Amino acid sequence: MSMDEAIRVLRAVEVRSPWSAYELLVKTAVMRGRPVPRGQLELPKDPRMHQDVVLYFADEGRAEEALQAGASFAGGADLIPKVLSGEIQPTKVFSTPSLIPVITPKLARFLGPKNLMPSIKKGTVSDDIAGTIKATQGSFAWKGDKMGTIQAVIGRMHFAPEDVIANIKAFMKSVHENSRDPDDALTQRKSKKMNSVSILSVRLSSRQGPGIQLEHV
Which domains, ranges and CATH numbers included, belong to the chain?
A: 3-48+142-213 (3.30.190.20), 54-137 (3.40.50.790)
Could you report the per-residue pLDDT of 195-217, keeping only the tens digit for each? 456 899 999 999 899 999 999 88
Positions in the chain whose pLDDT score sits under 50: 182-195
pLDDT of the residue at 88:
96
Radius of gyration of the chain, Cα coordinates, nearest whole angstrom: 19
Q: Could you tell me whether strands 73-75 and 54-57 are parallel, antiparallel, or unpaired per DSSP bridges?
A: parallel
The SS3 of residue 56 is strand
Give the predicted TM-score (pTM) of the model. Answer: 0.67
Reduce the DSSP state of residue 41 to 3 states and report it: strand
Could you tell me which residues come within 8 angstroms of residue 203 by beta carbon, excluding any fewer than 6 positions away? 24, 25, 26, 211, 212, 213, 214
Q: What are the helix (H) ranges across 112-155?
A: 129-136
Report the pLDDT value the prediction gives residue 30, as an integer from 0 to 100.
Answer: 79
pLDDT digits (tens, 9 = 90+) for 63-92: 999 999 999 999 999 999 999 999 999 999
pLDDT of residue 74: 97
